[in-house]
Amino acid sequence: MDTQSLTQLRQDLHRNPELGFQEKQTKARVASILRDLGLEVHESIGVVGILRAGSGNRAIGLRADMDALPIQETGTQPYVSQTPGVMHACGHDGHTAMLIGAAAHLAETQDFDGSVVFIFQPNEEHGLGAQAMIDEGVLSRFPVEEVYAIHNLPGAPVGQVSTCKGLICSSESLFEITLKGQGGHASMPQAGRDVITIGADVVQALQTIVARRLAPGSGAVVSITEFVADGQRNVLPGKAVLKGDARARRPEDRDAIEQFMRQIVSGIASAHGISAEVTFSTEFIETINADAPTDAVVRAANSVGLETIPDRPPMSFSEDFAHFAAAIPGCFMLLGNGTDGPNGQPLHSNNYDFNDALLPIGVSLWSALVRDRLAKVP
């Protein structure tokens, strides 16, 4: 598959984005192309393609995500999303196209010895797709020794590869705090239990978790993202709901955030004579890169002449690939998307776009990695 065909595929995927667990057309398109390339294809929650060469019994997995985001695109490219309110704002269209391109190249060259399992997963954005495929048996039905994933990185030079051993992406936990006080007339606040002021105390106190309970350098983040109450113009609210997002770089810090949050909310609620409930749910676990796969990524990137950072700082965002990497040794790597125009806009922004210049680079990197891990025996 030449670069022009791969670019057309990527842009067509961009025109037709689908949300998590709704990737019906995308899955069908991926499966059809893989079959045309001669791969053994299995369709279920996601799509799996298997390519074998030589007589080796080793196998590695390469993963791409397929889902889009509920964002209205504002870009001006001729291939903008044709689905209102949905766009590929994280580059999963490009990830999918790169991995298909790698499958095409490897199917043609057959310059490896063993099996490559191409994993196209749904619903990365909500942290559900990888675990759903694992629960369905993808790793037991198609066993691999290692697993890898690429994610584009806006703001980094085009084609720059960066990764690190150990933690590469933080966990994400969502929390919801419900405060129940006593509403009343705005002119007589002393007669009620105003959850606005109490909620403000909670918001401020939660900001002491990082740097006062956890070390300032822990990399943890606690953010309140919603504060909704049932008051009116002259009515003090009796109920307020605070929602937010917590990130951590270690499981023990994640557990500590939840513990401290429950202590803080309980203490403030008790001090003001109201009731409070806290729910805390981890959507993404920490992504941990294994040593040998990370070394292999660095070798592969260097072998095709790409600028490589082997010890980048961990990212604060979260990645569903974590579930694969927790089950099997793996490596999550970042590939620079460029610094200019839509290619340099932040992930999840409404004017972001994947850089098509990455398509042949990604194919080259994937292919070099396969040759490294499944090297032909002389």
Give φ, ψ of 130 to 5 degrees.
Answer: -65, -50
Angle, helices 195-206 vs 251-272, to 10°: value is 150
In what helix (H) or strand (E) does residue 293 lie, and over which residues does it extend? Answer: helix 291-303
CA dist 36 to 29, 172, 354, Å? Answer: 11, 38, 25
Select which of 124, 172, 319, 353 is catalytic: 124
d(CA 89, CA 91): 6
Pair 140, 79: CB distance under 8 Å:
no
Catalytic status, residue 319: no
Catalytic status, residue 124: yes
d(CA 121, CA 324): 11
Pair 324, 61: CB distance under 8 Å:
yes
The residue type at 68: A
Select which of 18, 67, 194, 253 is catalytic: 67
CA dist 371 to 144, 217, 301, 304, 336, Å? Answer: 15, 39, 12, 12, 22
Pair 13, 97: CB distance under 8 Å:
yes
The three-class DSSP label of residue 261 is helix
> Active-site positions?
67, 124
